[in-house]
Structure 1
Amino acid sequence: MNTQDQTTRINGLDQAQMVQTIDAIKETPSLARFQFRARNTWIDGGENRSTIQDFYGAGREDDSRTTPFQFTNGEPPVLLGANEGANPVEFLLHALAGCVTTTFILHAAARGIQIRELATELDGDIDLQGLLGLDETVSPGYEQIRIKMHVQADCTDQELDDLMAYSREHSPVCNTVCRPVPVTVTRA
């Protein structure tokens, strides 16, 4: 077998492709500008469905997704739903877990750290008095979110701690949650 045909992979990522992507963005920074999109339709009660398919990235509209992803948002019965799907604040935990995990794996690969196992647990505290408008001093959002990462990796504890801190700082979803981000709501 020709050794040039072998792809060097670490943590499931193609290292040569990762270097090519980074080099392309360094050469043309505008390639790093992305716009992701979601469309949502109310179904009934607390049930609504989001569809995600198209996005702009790497200098063009992407057409690689021939089938849209669909996510049903629902509520548990105690919150007047019928468990049609996870509720939006649970989806936020899912998005945060996924983004921190992907960021962790990407930067581990860039550092040459082999990850053997990674599992993440998240929990968040929320007081529904804010959502319901019962107490204006209570925020309607999460009061605190805790992420616990269970990692087995071929590196020192210090390297692992550095990687975890770096991943928290560079995860797009974690960064979005941890700082104020302007959000506008308008009529179409």
Structure 2
Amino acid sequence: MSAQAAIAEKTTFINGLNVQQALDTIAALKADKSLAKFRFRAKNRWVSGGENRSTIRDFYGAGVEDTSRMKPFEFVNGEPPVLLGDNEGANPVEFLLHALAGCVTTTFVLHAMARGIAIRELSTELEGNIDLQGLLGLDGAVFPGYEQIRIKMHVKADCSDEALDDLLAYTQGHSPVCNTVCQPVPVVIERV
């Protein structure tokens, strides 16, 4: 009996995740690898100044267009006054930290569940440094993005520190957003 099957027999949910559903999903993906191909989408419309709004609703996954979302999620991008905005919303580089925190957290929780590790508490703090000279084109030698992002995870779980460290390393290697940031993918910008 595999560790995952033993976990499924022992309990139905770990860390709020349905163990049997996870096992069923893994089995389906092993049987038909095309089901693992997802296409996520976002739309954005500029409002004024540094304000723009993104909507996210539909996506393709598990072999079909998803119809589970009745209305789109809306995210307001803005800038603080020091960056010529009116605090309409978090700015895009802050949303990147939000996306990274969410993905690392979800990946950590998912793989903790798969290992049978119950998490009692989990929170993260993220911080990144950017030199605006790169964004503004004031110095061609300055990178326009984050120079470094630091993530501090505060975790209390029913396992050893060694098991947590192993899970954290595994999480960093398997979080889609973390890997997109750490090993950038090509981005094509075109006018239509």
Question: Above 0.5 in TM-score?
Answer: yes
Alignment deviations for residues 30-73 of structure 1 (CA, whole Å, 9 cap, x no partner): 10000000000000000000000000000010010011000000
Amino acid at match of 1:109: M
Task: Name the residue aligned to 2:39.
Answer: 35
The one of 135, 158, 165 aligned to 2:162 = 158
Separation of aligned partners in 2, 1:113 and 1:27: 27
Task: Name the residue aligned to 1:78.
Answer: 82
Structure 2: segments with no counterpart, 5+ residues: 1-10
Separation of aligned partners in 2, 1:80 and 1:95: 24
Task: Name the residue aligned to 2:141.
Answer: 137
Structure 1 residue ranges (4+ consecutive) displaced by more than 3 angstroms after TM superposition: none
Q: How does 1:14-93 map to 2 (within 5 A)?
A: 14-93=18-97
Task: Name the residue aligned to 2:189.
Answer: 185
Alignment deviations for residues 67-86 of structure 1 (CA, whole Å, 9 cap, x no partner): 10000000000000000000
Separation of aligned partners in 2, 1:30 and 1:101: 26
Amino acid at match of 1:82: D
Task: Name the residue aligned to 1:101.
Answer: 105
TM-score by length of 2: 0.94
Separation of aligned partners in 2, 1:20 and 1:80: 50
Task: Name the residue aligned to 1:3.
Answer: none
**RMSD of aligned Cα (Å):** 1.0
Deviation at 1:180, TM superposition (A): 2.4
Amino acid at match of 1:15: V
The one of 100, 117, 120 aligned to 1:116 = 120
The one of 125, 131, 144 aligned to 1:127 = 131
SS of match in other structure, 1:71: strand
SS of match in other structure, 2:147: strand
Amino acid at match of 2:115: R
Task: Name the residue aligned to 1:170.
Answer: 174
